[in-house]
A and B are shown apart, each in its own frame.
Chain A
Amino acid sequence: MILNLDKNKKTVSDNYDAVIIGGGPAGLTAAIYLGRARIKTLVIEEMIPGGQAATTVRLENYPGFPEGIGGAELGSLMEKQAKNFGADIIYDNVIDVDFKNEEKIIKLNKREIRSKIVIIASGAKPRKMHVPGAEEFEGKGISYCATCDGPLFRDKNIAIIGGGNSAIEEAIFLLRFVKSIIIVQDLPKLTAEKILEERLIKHKNVKLTFNNKILSINGEKEIKSISVEKTNSKKKMDIPAEGIFIYIGYIPNTDYLKGHIELDKFNYVKTNENLETNIKGVFAAGDVCKKTLRQVATAVGDGAIAAFMATKYLENEGG
Chain B
Amino acid sequence: MTKVMVYSTSTCPWCTRVRDYLNSKNIAFEHIDVSSDREKAEEMVRKSGQQGVPVLDIDGEIIVGFDQAKIDKLLGL
Contact = CB atoms under 8 A, between A and B. Distances in A.
A and B from one complex = yes
Q: What is the interface residue range for chain A against chain B? A: 20 to 34
Contacts of A8: 20-21, 24-25
Give the one of B12, B15, B38, B45 with max A CB within 10 A.
Answer: B12
A235 B19 CA distance: 48
A42 to B, nearest CB: 18
Interface string B21-39: 1011100000000111010
Given A140-B51, A143-B51, A148 B15 contact: yes
B16 A48 contact: yes
A189 B68 CA distance: 42
A1 B12 contact: no
A149 B51 contact: yes
A204 to B, nearest CB: 24
A148 B45 contact: no
A184 interface: no
B17 interface: yes
Given A8-B24, A55-B13, A139-B64, A148 B19 contact: no
B50 interface: yes
A48 B41 contact: no
B72 to A, nearest CB: 10
Interface string B1-14: 00000000101111
Contacts of B49: 140
A139 B16 contact: no
B13 A143 contact: no
